[in-house]
Chain A
Amino acid sequence: MCRAIAAVVLDDPTKVKFVPLSAKDRFTALQSGEIDVLSRNTTWTVSRDTSLGANFTGVTYYDGQGFMVKKSLKVNSALELNSASVCVQTGTTTEQNLADFFKGNNMKYEVIAFGSIDEAVKAYESGRCDVFTDDASGLYASRLKLANPADHIVLPEIISKEPLGPMVRHGDDQWFDIVKWTLFAMINAEELGITQKNVDTMLKSDKPEMKRVLGTDGNLGEQLGLTKDWVVRIVKAVGNYGETFERNVGTGSPLGIARGVNNLWNKGGIQYAPPIR
């Protein structure tokens, strides 16, 4: 995502400075101007959209919170977790969902909140907790880091909606538009079948929609304050939405997460972008 923004603005996807932030420092870093885009696994909620002085620009990944347990506990459902100890990362919506879930199902639990995800996973692995909870994508990522991933299972229950997306600071509407439309451009590119490989041949296409998107006709990119070939720059740098998904979290990556709800709206998912016209 960040590389795509760098490509579209600076024509160089490597001109990004990544600042790794923990969950509890991320909003402060965005508010203070230390970073310009917060593109992490931040859940879009009404309180974050209104009280932080920042805006969400879209949803890059539809996630939900799940639980991971050791297979040896022989637990098959999150509803069997009464009186369990749960490890969680502090400063996340996860902590509140967890409280809501256990309270809603009249179950008791003990929460141990750690400053970073690695510490939480380490404590889970050492047996301090029975359960580790995080967004499902995060659970799969963490499971890979465990000594014996096959000994752990992710329970089927998804207890929350976690639409993850980038955030930008208030006060620069053009920047907000650019970040927002970078994501939409990637989704639209996938919809139109424009990929990193075929983008050059697509440029010769005379379909009116294709010409509009790729900037061979009209000046939509310039209206955003970018160049005419803005979509071409993005796709050349990182590929379309589907390609980045597969490369980073999908079947092309160690995580091997299925597209599921993150598929395009016309392929059974809910990823949908406003049209470029």
Chain B
Amino acid sequence: MSIAPRKPPLQFALRLKRALGGKAGWNGLAAQIAFAAILAWIAYEIVANARTNLETQHIASGFGFLNYNAGFDVNQSLIAYNNSDTYWRVFFVGLLNTILVSVIGIVLATVIGFIVALCRLSPNLLLSRIGGIYVEIVRNLPVLFQILFWYLAVLAALPAPRQSISIFNTFFLNNRGLVVPQPVTEPGLYPFVAALAVGIILALGLRHYARRALFQRGQMIRIWPYVLGCLVGLPLVSMLVFGEPLKFELPQLKGFNFAGGARIIPEFVALTVALSTYTGAFIAEIVRAGVMSVHRGQMEAGSSLGLSRAATLRLIVVPQAMRVIVPPLTSQYLNLTKNSSLAVAIGYPDLVSVFAGTAVSQTGQAIEIIAMTMGVYLLLSLTTSALMSVYGWRINRSMAA
């Protein structure tokens, strides 16, 4: 009796079939190709149809306009811009303004959200009531209304430039914004930055060494004096040797406004404050839900190990809660970014206001500009969710370990 040698299965072909067609096999692959072809055909029809319609109506089309002069001014720009720059430049000015308000808004909203959530969870009755009232008021009012409230009711009530509220004669607060001393770079800047960078790297290295010593040998090493030396001492030495890195130019009242100094415009403040307090209320609820999802026993286990309440929260509860918090938190970040397009109501020059607004009506090329703007928001949103996915993945990995 002999045993016929079994043929090995055609692993590669099978795997290919599985990957391309799923469970349905080659039929599934055919269906997918047909579906993709139909999608491509629809997309082609849309583009071709728009093109012919634009041509028959003699509406200018194409992206050539991006190289023309824009001819209008923008009141806040992170890159050098004046009215003889191109529409490309306008696009980037608007984009950077959108990103600026989104990033700062996201950071503030997260901080507000966590603080309010911890207030609500606190055993202190007063704190938890205040947190609850904040959440209920802020998240139940429309965000556009809140933006207008901050802009028209709060910031507009500030005095005119000539009656500015002066803080030590260096900061001036008025209805044109907050005027702050402007940093002017000095030759000592580069050595200063280099010294700071070296200090940070050294401090991180020390921390790594100390952690390894703690985890592997159970040895506690006191490193904070050295870290302080690296972070403060090195830059100080560089300042003594190469001179100060920055000089501050003080603002002076001249004519209608302040000359010299930098200015944070009230539109930016109103938009950032409104968006971050609004989104912060939602984040507070998400964080609260996340913390509540961690079993009570974890808290009790922490206490029984002799950890303080704060340490238990920081080391045991919050890391577990983050798994629940991160996915809805991502949605809130995306909402904040998209809500920043309400800027047009208060004259903050974001992408929608300067590019999808002014540029559209000056060039009349709505299709191209709106498509670009949509693409940008899509890209911003996808980037945000990709970053958050990586973060979520890292948390899950560390949980599993």
A96 touches B347 (CB 8 A): no
A102 to chain B, nearest CB (A): 8
B75 touches A111 (CB 8 A): yes
A255 to chain B, nearest CB (A): 25
Instruction: List the one stretch of B121-129, B224-232, B254-262 in contact with chain A.
Output: B254-262
B57 touches A31 (CB 8 A): yes
Known: A28-B360, A28-B366, A48-B364. A126 touches B256 (CB 8 A): no
Q: Name A128's contact: one of B58, B73, B156, B357 (CB within 8 Å).
A: B156
Residues from chain B with Cβ under 8 Å of A24 in the complex: 357-358, 360-361
Q: Does B131 contact A (CB under 8 A)?
A: no
Can you name the residue of chain A whose Cβ is closest to the Cβ of B71?
A96
Cα(A169)–Cα(B345), bound, Å: 29
Chain A: number of interface residues, binned into ranges: 35 or more
A127 touches B57 (CB 8 A): no
Q: Does B201 contact A (CB under 8 A)?
A: no
B175 touches A112 (CB 8 A): no
B168 to chain A, nearest CB (A): 24
A84 touches B257 (CB 8 A): yes
102-140 of chain A: CB within 8 A of chain B: 103, 109-115, 119-120, 122-123, 126-128, 130
A112 touches B57 (CB 8 A): no
Q: Name A95's contact: one of B72, B254, B257 (CB within 8 Å).
A: B72
Q: Name B175's contact: one of A26, A99, A126 (CB within 8 Å).
A: A126
Contact bitstring B24-65, A, C-beta under 8 A = 1, else 0: 000000000000000000000000000000101111100000
A84 touches B57 (CB 8 A): no
Q: Does A85 contact B (CB under 8 A)?
A: yes
B357 touches A90 (CB 8 A): yes
B318 to chain A, nearest CB (A): 41
Q: Does B353 contact A (CB under 8 A)?
A: yes
A127 touches B257 (CB 8 A): no
Contact bitstring B160-191, A, C-beta under 8 A = 1, else 0: 10000000000000011000000000000000
133-175 of chain A: CB within 8 A of chain B: 169-171
Q: Does A256 contact B (CB under 8 A)?
A: no
Known: A51-B60, A119-B346. A23 touches B361 (CB 8 A): yes
314-364 of chain B: CB within 8 A of chain A: 344-347, 349, 353-354, 357-358, 360-364
Q: Does A91 contact B (CB under 8 A)?
A: yes
Residues from chain B with Cβ under 8 Å of A48 in the complex: 364
Can you name the residue of chain B whose Cβ is closest to the Cβ of A131?
B256
Cα(A236)–Cα(B192), bound, Å: 81
Q: Does A268 contact B (CB under 8 A)?
A: no
Contact bitstring B247-266, A, C-beta under 8 A = 1, else 0: 00000001111010000011
B349 touches A53 (CB 8 A): no
Contact bitstring A1-36, B, C-beta under 8 A = 1, else 0: 000000000000000000000011011100100000
Can you name the residue of chain A whose Cβ is closest to the Cβ of B159?
A127
Residues from chain B with Cβ under 8 Å of A261 in the complex: none
B75 touches A90 (CB 8 A): no
B255 touches A52 (CB 8 A): no
Q: Name B364's contact: one of A51, A81, A90, A120 (CB within 8 Å).
A: A51
Residues from chain B with Cβ under 8 Å of A82 in the complex: 255-256
Q: Does A213 contact B (CB under 8 A)?
A: no
Residues from chain B with Cβ under 8 Å of A120 in the complex: 347
A126 touches B360 (CB 8 A): no
Q: Does A83 contact B (CB under 8 A)?
A: yes
Can you name the residue of chain A whose Cβ is closest to the Cβ of B266?
A128
Known: A83-B254, A84-B256, A91-B357. A98 touches B346 (CB 8 A): no
Cα(A169)–Cα(B349), bound, Å: 31
Can you name the residue of chain A whose Cβ is closest to the Cβ of B349?
A113
Can you name the residue of chain B whose Cβ is closest to the Cβ of A72?
B160
Q: Does B99 contact A (CB under 8 A)?
A: no
Q: Name B57's contact: one of A81, A85, A169 (CB within 8 Å).
A: A169
Q: Does B293 contact A (CB under 8 A)?
A: no
Residues from chain A with Cβ under 8 Å of B366 in the complex: 27-28, 31
Q: Does B221 contact A (CB under 8 A)?
A: no
Q: Name B54's contact: one of A47, A53, A112, A113 (CB within 8 Å).
A: A53
Q: Does A244 contact B (CB under 8 A)?
A: no
B175 touches A127 (CB 8 A): yes
Q: Does A92 contact B (CB under 8 A)?
A: yes
Residues from chain A with Cβ under 8 Å of B360 in the complex: 24, 27-28, 91
B58 touches A170 (CB 8 A): yes
Q: Does A200 contact B (CB under 8 A)?
A: no
B357 touches A53 (CB 8 A): no
Residues from chain A with Cβ under 8 Å of B354 in the complex: 90, 113
Can you name the residue of chain B whose Cβ is closest to the Cβ of A112?
B347
Q: Does A100 contact B (CB under 8 A)?
A: yes
A83 touches B347 (CB 8 A): no
B229 to chain A, nearest CB (A): 45
B73 touches A111 (CB 8 A): yes
Cα(A136)–Cα(B71), bound, Å: 21
A85 touches B256 (CB 8 A): yes
Cα(A87)–Cα(B75), bound, Å: 11
Residues from chain A with Cβ under 8 Å of B345 in the complex: 114-115, 119
Q: Which residues of A contact B (CB under 8 A)?
A: 23-24, 26-28, 31, 47-48, 50-53, 73, 81-85, 87, 90-92, 95-96, 98-100, 103, 109-115, 119-120, 122-123, 126-128, 130, 169-171
- Smallest CB-CB A-B distances: 3 pairs: A91-B361, A53-B59, A126-B156
Q: A73-B256, A95-B358, A114-B347 are in contact. List 18 more A-B contacts (CB 8 A).
A: A24-B358, A47-B362, A50-B60, A53-B57, A84-B255, A95-B73, A99-B73, A103-B83, A111-B74, A113-B72, A113-B74, A114-B344, A115-B344, A115-B347, A123-B346, A126-B152, A126-B156, A171-B56
